[in-house]
Amino acid sequence: MTASNGRVAVVTGAGRGLGRAHALALAAEGVRVVVNDLGVGPDGEGGGPGPAECTAAEIRARGGQAVAHPGDVATPDGAASLVTTALETFGRLDALVNNAGFLRDRMLVNLGEDDWDAVVRVHLKGHFLPLRHAAAHWRAETKAGRPPAARVVNTTSGAGLLGSVGQAGYAAAKAGIAALTLVAAAELAPYGVLVNAVAPAARTRMTETVFAAGMAPPDRPDTFDAMAPENVSPLVVWLASAASRGVTGRVFEAEGGRITVMEGWHHGPTEDRAARRTPTEAGDAALRLLTRARPEEPVYGSR
């Protein structure tokens, strides 16, 4: 258990899947939750307030406190109102869980510009804008002498960390989220804000065909369902809590009962001759360095 101490969290994309699981898990720990969801389909089409309202109502039915926010967090007004809703409803904001997203998978040569723009917008801009508005609030609190113990949990993906065939737009956006996490962690540390990311693997509307095999057998419902989204939520709850003190700028992979600290770009083998090389000399140096470098992990779907 993590002591909530009256904390308030915003969870985007919380009407279904991972976001819903996170919202319910936070509420179970006594956290008051702003449940955001635009209500769109798995490809971003359609929309409506129903999913956000349903999750908020489910939390209230279990004795928790929640309010629905059906706005578009990839717009300045939607992101700003997300923070305003938390402050006007519960009087504070302690944690932001960025989770909203959808898929439009295509092989690169078939990927349309509109699909690319839509996916990058919801994932990357949909992380940036809520983070920007929440950070502005926390900075103001710090300057007013009320430093917060604030937390941000972003949602990246193995596709963004290692690549994934057929998911160029999604992978690019998720890689951007990983980099955004590092920058935000460094920039917001003076204001008491810790920023981390999770790369979950779970069965949701976007992945139900991929992870269907991970379901618990119907004749043994007590069997551990490794692909249930609820398996990811305990890590998210901890990262969003005051108990995660000192942990920032990290990316964790979470799947079933497994948690992995991901290690991103590091300086590897290097040569410096303090002089300009010819192309041939540069190529020879690159090949020598590659023999000393750690082998890269394969792109998902490439083998």
Name the band, by pLDDT with cuts 50, 70 and 90, for residue 206: low
pLDDT digit string, tens, across residues 102-115: 778 788 889 889 99
Query: Per-residue pLDDT tens for 37-83?
Result: 987 655 545 555 689 999 999 999 999 999 999 999 999 999 999 99
Q: In what order do the strands lie in the sheet with 193-201?
A: 66-69, 32-36, 8-11, 95-97, 150-155, 193-201, 251-255, 258-261
- The DSSP symbol for 293 reads S
- If DSSP codes are grouped into helix, strand and coil, which group holds residue 114? helix
Q: Taking the model in full, what pTM does it have?
A: 0.89
**HSE value, Cβ hemisphere, 13 Å, CA-based, for 57:** 6
Q: How far is the C-alpha of 95 from the C-alpha of 110, rounded, in Å?
A: 38
Does 208 score more than 80 pLDDT?
no
Could you list the active site residues? Answer: 157, 170, 174
- What is the pLDDT of the chain when averaged over all its residues? 90
Rounded to whole angstroms, the Cα distance separating 153 from 195 reads: 6
Q: What's the length of the chain? A: 303
Distance of alpha carbon 133 from alpha carbon 148, whole angstroms? 15
What pLDDT is recorded for position 39? 77
Residue 240: its pLDDT value, please? 98
Q: What is the pLDDT of residues 111-163, one digit of tens each?
A: 889 998 999 999 999 999 999 999 999 999 999 999 999 999 999 999 999 98
Instruction: List, in order, residues 6 or more apart from 253 with CB less than 8 Å away.
Output: 158, 161, 198, 199, 200, 201, 259, 260, 262
Q: Which CATH fold would you assign to the domain 8-261?
A: Rossmann fold (3.40.50)
